[in-house]
Structure formats: C-alpha cells, structure tokens
Chain A
Amino acid sequence: MSDIENLKSELLAQVEAADSLQTLEDVRVSALGKKGAITAQMKNLSGLEPDQRKAMGQALNALKGDVAAAIEAKKEAMADAELNAKLLSEKVDVTLPARPETEGFIHPISHTIEEVVAILGEMGFEVAEGPEIEDDWFNFTALNIPDDHPARQEHDTFYLPGEGTNGRKVLRTHTSPVQIRTMMNTKPPLRIIAPGRTYRCDYDATHTPMFHQVEGLVVDKSTHMGHLKGCLIDFCRAYFGVDDLPVRFRPSYFPFTEPSAEVDIGCTREGGEFKIGHGDDWLEILGCGMVNPKVLENCGIDSSEYQGFAFGMGVERIAMLKYGIPDLRTFFESDLRWLRHYGFQALDVPNMVGGLNP
C-alpha cells in the first residue's frame, strides 16, 4: 500500500508543479490516461488474490478520484489567474466622464398648477378647461361686468377683430369664463378649478401680457363664506408648507362675487430677507368671494336655491413666492439656464400623500 501512497504524493506534486494547462494535461495523461500510472496499476488488479484485490481496488479508486480532483482544482485556479490577468489588462480610467446625456425639466408653472390641483383635488375639486379666445359675454357680461363698468377698464383686455355669437372676441382676462361655461353645462353641486393661460394688455416689472391663473368655484345649497375661508386657509398652509401660516381676509370688490375678499398671508422682510410665515407684514395673494347671485342667474342657476364661492390666484405669483423667483418676466423667456435652475425633475410629481413639500 505504501506504493500507492508514494504514487499519490508523486502525482499530486506533479499537479502542483504544473505551470500551464498543457503540463497539467500531460500529468493527467501520465496518471489517468490509458497508459497512465494508475491505469497500469488497475490493470494489475486481476492478478491479485480476491481479498487483496478488493483492498487494492478501493485504494486505487480513491487515488484516481484524488488526483482527478486535484487536476480540476488546479485547472480552475489557472483559469481564474488567466482571467484576472486578462481583466487587469482591460483597465480603463474610471475618472473619465460618463457618456453625455441631457436632462429635461418641467416648467415651474406646470409644476405649480399640479401642486394646486393636488391640494384642491383632495378637497373634491375637479379641473375644468375652456377656450382662451372668448366671447365678450363669457368673459365679462355673464360675470356681472357690464360695458363701461370701471372694472372692465381695469382688465386691460386684448381684443380680436371678430364677433362671436356672444359678443366681441377677446383674449380671456381671467379663467372665470370657464366657470361660466361649467355652470351653464353642469347641474350643481359643482366643485371645479380652472387653471390656464390668461391675457392682459400690460407689461412692466410685475405684469406680463400673458400669465396663468387658477380659479376655483363651488356651487351647492349650503357652502358659505366660512367654507371659503377654511378652503383657502387650508390651501395656503398646505401649499406653502407652513402649518400655522397666518392668513387674513380683507373686504374687497369683484363684480362677480358678493361679498368679496382679498386674502393676505403673513410674511416678514426682517433683515432684508423675505420669508413667508409669522411676521410683521402681509402679502396679498388671491381674491375671492361668494358667487354673486346675478352670475348664478346668468348661468341659469336658481340663486334662491344655490350659492357658493369662487376664488382666483396667479400661478406665477404663488410660484415666485414659494420658490423665491424674483422676476415674473423670466417665466416666459425660455432661458435654458433659468429653466434648469428653477425647473423640476420629470418624475417629481406633486401629491399630498407623497409629501408636497419634502
């Protein structure tokens, strides 16, 4: 048996010493091949006594397995080493820049409108839309703004040459005509918001001839001015992300609401830095009121049965306040630097449960 032990150590040493796949193959052939050392010993088994043959056979089989395993292990180790060497030769400079990609953004106006919809949607409002070239009647008369009313002059209306079935064509000065169209076509109860482009013939540091509004409208049998206050205070606090934001309602005048109010939020300009929240100052952000009964009647809604509220705010204005954008005019300049800076990522979808103000 010591012969076998000797053979084993000799063969394993040869395996260990092999330095290439070829020498390893030579070792395999010399051990396990048809004319190999182990094979030769196997052939001799038939000449032995049965009990000796059995013991010898087992020993030889074990030897065969050990040597084969050693060769296999050596082979793997050699392949790994080879691969490693190959991979090392493939080294690149990982500090090279990645391939160029361009990143897109969502405009702050779109984002802000989606924020407003996300908040008011939770309160049961649905989005409504309408044409931007309107008939005079929808933009003014139906809203209780008669011809020659000073309020109409304050709108700085853009006119078009045509006449519609309901008066001269104008660019809508607010999204209120959407409210009119909705009230005429839908039976109350109603809860809608109308975001969209609006136009006024005015251009200076704080006015652009086109801007965006979101207006809201509720019509049912019981909604009163307390609900208006609740709705807008809740809205402002959610939008600006300030739970205890001071919100103040002041009497004002709009022909289409009665009573009417303007809404201020608290702010401070201490130390030259503007901040929304508790402070010594107020900032006007929107107008609102209870829908004037005349407007309801103009839309065929019985004002002795139904009532409701309406509000309107400038999208750019609330975006400027929230995101610290200093100049209204820049919204429409399409300056790539501005858009990349103030824009929002494609997948940044505003919603309440996801956290509106992360």
Chain B
Amino acid sequence: MKFTLSWLKDHLDTDATLDQVVERLTMLGLEVDNVEDRAAGLEGFVVGEVLEAQKHPDADKLQVLTVNNGNETLQVVCGAPNARKGLKGVLGASGMYIPGIDMTLKPATIRGVDSNGMMLSEREMGLSDEHTGIVELDADAPVGEKAVEVMGLNDPVIEIDITPNRGDCLGVRGIARDLAASGLGALKPLGDGPDGRVKPMDGVFDSPIDVKLDFPAGAESACSQFAGRYVRGVKNGPSPKWMQDRLLAIGLRPISALVDITNYSTWDLGRPLHVFDADKVSGDITARLAKAGETMLALDEKEYALDEEMCVIADNEKAEAIAGVMGGLESGCTEDTVNVFIESAIFDPVRTAQTGRKLNLQSDARYRFERGIDNDFAVDGMENATRLVMELCGGEPSNAIVAGDGPDWQRTLDFRPSRVKSLTGVDVAKDEMERIVTVLGCSVDKSGGDKSDAANWKVEVPSWRSDMVDEACVVEEIIRVNGYHNIPHVSMEREDALPHAAVSSALRRRRGVRRLLAGRGLIEAVTYSFLPAAHAELFAGEGGVPDSVRLSNPISADLDVMRPSLLPNLIAAIGRNDARGHTDGALYEVGPQFAGDDPDDQTLVAAGVRSGQAVARNWAAPARAVDVFDAKADAIATLEAAGAPVTNLQVFAHEEGGPQWYHPGRSGTLRLGPKTILANFGEIHPGVLKKLGVKGPVAAFEVFLDNLPAQKAKKSQARPLVKLSAFQPVERDFAFLVDASVEATNVERAAKAADKQLIADAKLFDVYEGDGVADGKKSVAIQVTLQPFDKTMTDEEIEAVSAKVVASVKKATNGELRG
C-alpha cells in the first residue's frame, strides 16, 4: 500500500512530521517498508522558459536556447528534439549535480558555443527511463519556481506492508483512522452527510439501466449489494494534475478521468469501482454466476474462460466484468464515452479470491475484495464516485440504484476490560480503552455494568473491520493503539530452581550421533528433503518411488520427489565438490527419509558417505581408497553412539537382502535378529554412481535410528559391577584351513563359543589364500584371549581350552587346524 503524505493529510488533521507519521505507522502494525522522498537531490532545479531557440551554427541536431530561470537568462546548448521556443521545462544550472547521469554541470563550450546549463529529461532527473525529450511542464508553471513543487515531487511517498487482516487499511482513509486512534491527529469527515458520510446526490432522471442480482440459492453472497448510477453527458479527458500526481506517485499510470476516478477511489477509500460506458451495455445489468463455457475479454486485453463458480457483471448479452477482479475491455470507458454507469458493489471475499486464483489474475480490486472491504460503504462509494465524475467530467446523474442489502456484517463482541491486563500484562485505563475502540469506529455499550472488573462491555464492530471477531481482537486493538512498548518485560520463571532436560532420549541419541560422526572426520551436511525423481528411483527399493511422495507443485523438476534415502543428495554433493576439485569428501547427514506420506513413513536416518582416498597420499604410509570397511566402521560406531546393543549385531552379506544401490559384493547389512535392519553399509554400486554422474569409489552407510530398540527410562544411573580379574589373560593364536566360502565371522563366533567362561575374545587377524593353501580353501588366523578369574591357568588347562576351540571351529565350519 502506497500513498503520499499530503494525501494522508486529506483525511487526517495533523501537524505531525513525516518522521512522526512513519514511526507511528510502524508501531501501529502498519509496517513502513519504504519512504521515498522523490524531491531529494532535485531541490535546486527550477522551471525554465525557453525564450529563444536557434539552430546551432555548427551542429545539425543541436539548438542554442535562451532560457529564463526567473532571475536571468542563460544560454544552453540542447539536443532534445522537443526543445522549442515557449516550452517550459526543468533547468539545471552550472554546479548542480544531475542524478540520472551521475555528473555535475560545468560551464562548457559545445562546438564553439557556450552552454551554461541544461534542460533535463526525466531520465536525467532520475525519475524514469524517459529520454526521448526534455520534460515539458504546464504552460502556466511559474518560471523560477522549484521544479519539484511544480512536478508534484515534493510529496514523500510512504509504502507500508499491510497484513492480510487489515483490508480497511488498503485505503488511505483507513490508515488515517488508525493514526487518529493513536492520537496523531483527528480523522476529517469524509463528506457533508450525517456522521461525516457522503451526502447522497439527487438524481435528475431514472437510470435507463436497471440492476438485478440473480443467484441460485446459497450463492447470494457472491454479490450481496450493488449500488449504481447512470451519469449522462460526461466528457472524458485527462484527470486533473493533483489526481495524476498522486496516481503517478504510487506507481499508477493516469489514463483518463473516468478510469483514474476508479483507481483513485480504490486507493483513497479502499473502495474499488467500475465505470461502464453505458452506451456499450446492452439492456440491463445483472450480477450472476458465469455460465459454463462463457469467456470474457478483460481490460488487460486477455481472454478469460469463466466457470460456474465465478461471479460476473453481465448485460443482456454477455459478461462485462469479472466481479471484484477486472472489468471487460468492450464496455470500458474511452475518450469518446459520453454516458457512464458507475458500479460500486460488494463481492464475496472467498469467491473473489478463488476466481482470481483460478484465472491467475491479480488486480488492485481483487486484492481488496479478498481481504474484506467496508461492508457498509457501497452506496457511499457510488455517491463519492458520482461526485468525482461530475466534478471532473460534468454530466447529469440519474437516481441511484441499490440492489441487495449487503452482507450481514453487524457483530457485537463481549469484552471484559480486565482481559487487557490478564492477557497482556498492560494497565490501560478504562476511559482510554473506550476512547481507542471508539475512534477505531466501534461503539461501546457499558450497560452490562461497570461495577465489577469482570463486567462485560458490548463492543459493536464497525463495518470495515470484519477481522474483529472476538474478545482477543478487542484486546489487541487496545494494546496495539496503546503501544506495544508499554507491554512490560516479565522474565519467564521456571517451576524449579534448576532446569530439567529439554531433549528426549531419542534426541539426545541423535546429538550423540552427530558429534560422533564429526569426531570421526565426517562433515555434517543439511540437504533438501526432495530431489530429482530419477535420483530417487535409484534408491527407492522395490516398487519404486510411491506416487504419494511426488510433489504436486514442485519448485522445479529437479526437486520433485521426497527423498527415499539420504544418500543420493549426499552423493550428489560429493560429485559437486569433486567437480570443483575438492576430492576425498566425507559428508554425513542426520535427517528424515520418506517411504510414503503417512507420519509413520517418515523415518530418521543417520547416513554418511566417504569418497576417494580414505588415506590420502602421504610419506608415512601407503594411500588407500575408501572401501566397504570404512563404511562398516562408521555404521558400527554410529550404532554404538546411538546406544544399540552392538555386541548382538549380526552382519549379513548383500545377497541376504541388501539394497540395490550398493555394490553386490562389497556391502552388507547390520541386523538385530534376521529381520530388524539397523544399518546398511558398503561401497555404492558403480552403476548408480555413473547414473548420478559421480566418480567413485564412494563408501556409504545408513543407520536407521528409528529401528533401534527404544531406550528405556533408567531407574538408576548405576552401572553393573565391573569384573576385573587379578590373573593375567592368556593369548593363543590359531590358524584354520576352511573353505573359501566360509564367512570369517563364523570362525570367530565358533571360537568364542567354545568356552563361554574362559574365552573373553576371539579376534580374526589374518586371512590368507594362495601358495601353501589348497585351491578353494583359505587360512583364517584368530587370536583367542583366555581370561581366568579364580587362578592362573596351568598348561594342561590351556591345552584343554585350545582343544575345545579347535573342535568348536571344526564343528561350525569344518575347518582344520593348520599345522
């Protein structure tokens, strides 16, 4: 919403300065977005009159002007084609800064002729891009007067952001009313009628055009009131300068008096209008719903296809306006219009918004209707428009036509003055409360009794405040006008002296995982929850990406599906970094993935990728590419940090149910029991990397935090008693010959199981295939740690346990002790 300071003062009687107005507006919730002082930097330019214009003796396109600046005459060399004798324009003298071309004028000699000034174009003044000629001022502009005065630029333009609830402030008058309530002046009466309303005009004939509201039952609200008037014998032409100046100031292009009047009413009073060329209206006017297949050519010269939910203003033949959105081109006013029909109607906010959205058609009228216009102002708006038409264009008015009673807007709110203090902590005297709501247009009935503090007032809401619907709204109006700076600062008190945990155990777990992974050298990324469908498909598992997670209105084709996994975005990020020459990236993310659109389909995952070299080239040790075991270590460490029972984890190879985006020979899953998958880990399938355009290798893991056993609330922080043996552990190495297909973990597990009391650990430390080992076999070496608790072990006892280990491994894997 834009307006100028002088425009505001049409409605507000105030001595306030621009700064005071701006400050107050913001503190009233009418946030000032911008103040444009268009005169700034242009104050020195004056109205200059061209007394003589001679052709330059030595240049075809230049003229030598003699310009009167009010005090003296200056010689100015000028190249503008419109420079001519008698023209009044904007004169800049030597020494002045010309903002549009960023230079300071100096006396100059142009092709041998002295030039002591410059006649300016709009572009040179910094006002617009207009540069086809110099500015032409009115013939009666006083020579020597400041150009900004004459051009109407000395009126600062204020732009404010209006929140969607304040349709009443989409007119200058509404803003003035709020300022008046806050004590910054008094609201001037709008017209000479009772209560300052616009005085109805007496018609001198009956309108030849009648108005009907014709809606099916239930749709009457589409147009609940239509106030119209026929004015005959008007003469359209340019609107007066004051009106053009204001429209230009707020960025509207003056067109003709009749059109400008409708725009002016929209911005001045928040009252959109339409003015039909009555001679182009066939028969009577009907407000009705559009017919299926009906179309209309609108003022923006586009054809719109209407549907049966949309409200139109039609004549006997066709739709002539899309109600509340835009008028039709054919019945619009032109320079030749002599008879007009003024429409000031009330259209339903919701239907208007829907219509505009369906047609993708925004307009100043729609903007106001959908936010709610004054529900008791259609007739006043029509009267005000009639007055302006007659002032600007002459003509004779018909009797007014009013169809419909308007919406049922009257509302009385119960309000307890005590509620101001209890809801906001602010002390406001009751008299002040009453003053505020009254100036805002409410009427207050205190007959409910004013004795007890809890006593109700009845507050009647004015017709322009459809946003005020309950007691809290009244409280808000009072403290808003009273000033938010008067709200006290009361610090929060907690119930107990010490703070309690702010995070759940699941959240604490997640934080631990983040810190662990960062500690392991991975960098946390936050990537979008959506991604290209083609990427998603690579990570979607069986059945592909479900339709339920495909966005209906993606912001781009690249972000059209909710992610089924965190990996594709992380891998893509690795690829982007790679492309910039930053290789060997290690990234992780902790966030949601989506298997469907149900809340339960959203699961929390910690995923990470390592790419390129796990150990970079260095002098001390060989470089090494990332591989499945980097990912496995990350996965297990993550699970441990998350509190998973890692000693019970089972490792499954890819062929036992691993996801397709991993390398089929170099990936696996970590599970609790055969079904509960806690993590995937492994090298990413080279085919997948290729499709993502990423150079490998990439090792990745996904830990499914929601699949972890829930952490039970502990009754005590005490840990189980630690068992520390006083006796030295004994370590024994074994090498077994097993079939090459035997999984290493089976050897370890069998060895461990040989004696659960004595064997503390069994760790694989070597695997060998090749010379000395038969084809199809491998040698697996393990170190078994025996830990006695009651006495030192004798050689015989050690031998006995060793024999058990050998037997157990043989039984489990058919492995033979290697000689």
* A residues at B contact (CB < 8 Å): 96-97, 99-107, 109-110, 114, 117-118, 120-127, 129-133, 147-151, 153-154, 158-162, 164, 169, 171, 193, 197, 199, 201-203, 209-210, 218, 222, 224-227, 229-231, 233-234, 248-253, 255, 258-262, 290, 292-294, 307, 331-337, 339-340, 343, 345-347, 349
Binds A, one of B434-442, B587-595, B785-793: B587-595
Interface pair B489/A226, CB less than 8 Å apart: yes
Contact of B524 among A105, A222, A224, A335 (CB under 8 A): A105
> Is B503 on the interface with A (CB-CB < 8 A)?
yes
Q: A109-B526, A258-B473, A332-B527 are in contact. Are A251 and B484 (CB under 8 A)?
A: yes
> Is B576 on the interface with A (CB-CB < 8 A)?
yes
Contact of A158 among B349, B525, B551 (CB under 8 A): B551
Apart from A203-B555, A259-B424, A293-B471, what 9 extra A-B contacts exist at CB < 8 Å?
A110-B514, A133-B594, A160-B551, A226-B487, A259-B423, A290-B423, A336-B585, A339-B523, A347-B515
Contact of A250 among B26, B553, B585 (CB under 8 A): B26
Which residue, A105, A110, A164, has most C-beta atoms of chain B within 10 A? A110
Interface pair B424/A225, CB less than 8 Å apart: yes
Q: What are 16 of the A-B contact pairs (CB < 8 Å)?
A: A99-B620, A104-B518, A106-B515, A107-B526, A130-B599, A132-B594, A151-B164, A158-B552, A158-B553, A169-B548, A210-B529, A229-B489, A248-B485, A293-B472, A334-B577, A346-B518
CB distance from A183 to the nearest CB of B (A): 17
CB distance from B200 to the nearest CB of A (A): 33
Contact of B490 among A110, A130, A226 (CB under 8 A): A226
Q: Which residues of A contact B504 (CB under 8 A)?
A: 126-127
Interface pair A104/B517, CB less than 8 Å apart: yes
How would residues 408 to 438 of chain B score, 1 for a CB under 8 Å from any chain A CB and 0 otherwise?
Answer: 0000000000000011111000000000000
Q: How far is the CA of A183 from the CA of B742 in the complex (A)?
A: 56
Interface pair B530/A209, CB less than 8 Å apart: yes
CB distance from B474 to the nearest CB of A (A): 10
Q: A151-B164, A332-B527 are in contact. Are A347 and B480 (CB under 8 A)?
A: no
Q: How far is the CA of A147 from the CA of B351 in the complex (A)?
A: 11
Interface pair B521/A127, CB less than 8 Å apart: no
Q: Which residues of B contact A103 (CB under 8 A)?
A: 521
> Is B475 on the interface with A (CB-CB < 8 A)?
yes
CB distance from A173 to the nearest CB of B (A): 13
Which residue, A203, A225, A292, A335, has most C-beta atoms of chain B within 10 A? A225
CB distance from A301 to the nearest CB of B (A): 14
Q: A104-B521, A231-B491 are in contact. Are A197 and B592 (CB under 8 A)?
A: yes
Q: Which residues of A contact B530 (CB under 8 A)?
A: 209-210
Contact of B523 among A121, A133, A332, A336 (CB under 8 A): A336
Binds A, one of B130-138, B242-250, B494-502, B659-667: B494-502
Q: Closest residue of chain B to A99, judged by CB?
A: B620
Contact of A339 among B31, B524, B590, B591 (CB under 8 A): B524
CB distance from A152 to the nearest CB of B (A): 9
Q: A127-B507, A290-B472 are in contact. Are A230 and B491 (CB under 8 A)?
A: yes
Q: Which residues of B contact A248 (CB under 8 A)?
A: 485
Q: Which residues of B contact A307 (CB under 8 A)?
A: 422-423
Q: A126-B500, A290-B424 are in contact. Are A104 and B524 (CB under 8 A)?
A: yes
Contact of A334 among B426, B511, B525 (CB under 8 A): B525
> Is B573 on the interface with A (CB-CB < 8 A)?
yes
> Is B814 on the interface with A (CB-CB < 8 A)?
no
CB distance from A106 to the nearest CB of B (A): 5
Interface pair A230/B492, CB less than 8 Å apart: yes
Q: Which residues of B contact A96 (CB under 8 A)?
A: 619-620
Interface pair A227/B490, CB less than 8 Å apart: yes
CB distance from B769 to the nearest CB of A (A): 30
CB distance from A45 to the nearest CB of B (A): 48
The tally of residues in B whose CB lies under 8 Å from a CB in A reads 103
Q: How far is the CA of A161 from the CA of B502 in the complex (A)?
A: 36
Q: Closest residue of chain B to A224, judged by CB?
A: B425
Within 8 A of A (CB), among B579-618: 580, 582, 584-588, 590-592, 594, 597-599, 601-602, 615-616, 618
Q: Closest residue of chain A to B494, judged by CB?
A: A124
Q: A132-B592, A346-B518 are in contact. Are A225 and B423 (CB under 8 A)?
A: yes
Q: Closest residue of chain A to B348, judged by CB?
A: A148
> Is B146 on the interface with A (CB-CB < 8 A)?
no
The 8 A-B residue pairs with the shortest CB-CB distance, nearest first, are A226-B425, A251-B29, A121-B502, A253-B163, A334-B573, A102-B521, A346-B518, A259-B476
> Is B746 on the interface with A (CB-CB < 8 A)?
no
CB distance from A162 to the nearest CB of B (A): 5
Q: Which residues of B contact A158 (CB under 8 A)?
A: 551-555
Interface pair B618/A99, CB less than 8 Å apart: yes
Interface pair A105/B553, CB less than 8 Å apart: no
> Is B528 on the interface with A (CB-CB < 8 A)?
yes
> Is B621 on the interface with A (CB-CB < 8 A)?
yes
Interface pair A260/B476, CB less than 8 Å apart: yes
Q: How far is the CA of A227 from the CA of B424 in the complex (A)?
A: 8
CB distance from A164 to the nearest CB of B (A): 7
Q: Which residues of A contact B521 (CB under 8 A)?
A: 101-104
Q: How far is the CA of A218 from the CA of B56 in the complex (A)?
A: 79
Q: How far is the CA of A261 from the CA of B485 in the complex (A)?
A: 11
Q: A197-B591, A224-B425, A251-B28 are in contact. Are A202 and B555 (CB under 8 A)?
A: yes
Interface pair B163/A209, CB less than 8 Å apart: no
Q: Which residues of A contact B570 (CB under 8 A)?
A: 334
Q: Which residues of B contact A292 (CB under 8 A)?
A: 472
Within 8 A of A (CB), among B523-550: 523-530, 547-550
Interface pair B597/A133, CB less than 8 Å apart: yes
> Is B520 on the interface with A (CB-CB < 8 A)?
yes
Contact of B492 among A227, A255, A334 (CB under 8 A): A227
Q: How far is the CA of A132 from the CA of B602 in the complex (A)?
A: 8
> Is B750 on the interface with A (CB-CB < 8 A)?
no
Q: Which residues of A contact B350 (CB under 8 A)?
A: 147-148
Q: Which residues of A contact B491 (CB under 8 A)?
A: 227, 230-231, 234
How would residues 322 to 364 of chain B score, 1 for a CB under 8 Å from any chain A CB and 0 otherwise?
Answer: 0000000000000000000000000001100110010000000
Interface pair A209/B490, CB less than 8 Å apart: no
Interface pair B552/A160, CB less than 8 Å apart: yes
Contact of B424 among A218, A224, A230, A335 (CB under 8 A): A224
CB distance from A93 to the nearest CB of B (A): 10
> Is B654 on the interface with A (CB-CB < 8 A)?
no
Q: How far is the CA of A351 from the CA of B588 in the complex (A)?
A: 24
Q: Closest residue of chain A to B510, judged by CB?
A: A110
CB distance from B793 to the nearest CB of A (A): 36
Interface pair B492/A162, CB less than 8 Å apart: no
Interface pair B576/A334, CB less than 8 Å apart: yes
Interface pair A258/B472, CB less than 8 Å apart: yes
Q: Which residues of B contact A210 (CB under 8 A)?
A: 528-530
Interface pair A104/B489, CB less than 8 Å apart: no
Interface pair B599/A133, CB less than 8 Å apart: yes
Q: How far is the CA of A161 from the CA of B598 in the complex (A)?
A: 12
Interface pair B518/A97, CB less than 8 Å apart: no
Interface pair A150/B529, CB less than 8 Å apart: no
Interface pair B164/A150, CB less than 8 Å apart: yes
Q: How far is the CA of A248 from the CA of B559 in the complex (A)?
A: 38
Interface pair B425/A225, CB less than 8 Å apart: yes
Q: Which residues of A contact B517 (CB under 8 A)?
A: 104
Contact of B370 among A102, A133, A150, A193 (CB under 8 A): A150
Q: How far is the CA of A250 from the CA of B489 in the complex (A)?
A: 14
Q: Which residues of A contact B559 (CB under 8 A)?
A: 209
Q: Which residues of B contact A258 (CB under 8 A)?
A: 470, 472-473, 475-476
Contact of A262 among B31, B555, B585, B598 (CB under 8 A): B31
CB distance from B425 to the nearest CB of A (A): 3
Q: How far is the CA of A304 from the CA of B56 in the complex (A)?
A: 85
CB distance from B128 to the nearest CB of A (A): 26
Interface pair B423/A224, CB less than 8 Å apart: yes
Within 8 A of A (CB), among B109-155: none
Interface pair A126/B502, CB less than 8 Å apart: yes
Q: Which residues of A contact B601 (CB under 8 A)?
A: 133
Q: A202-B555, A224-B425, A229-B490 are in contact. Are A253 and B165 (CB under 8 A)?
A: yes
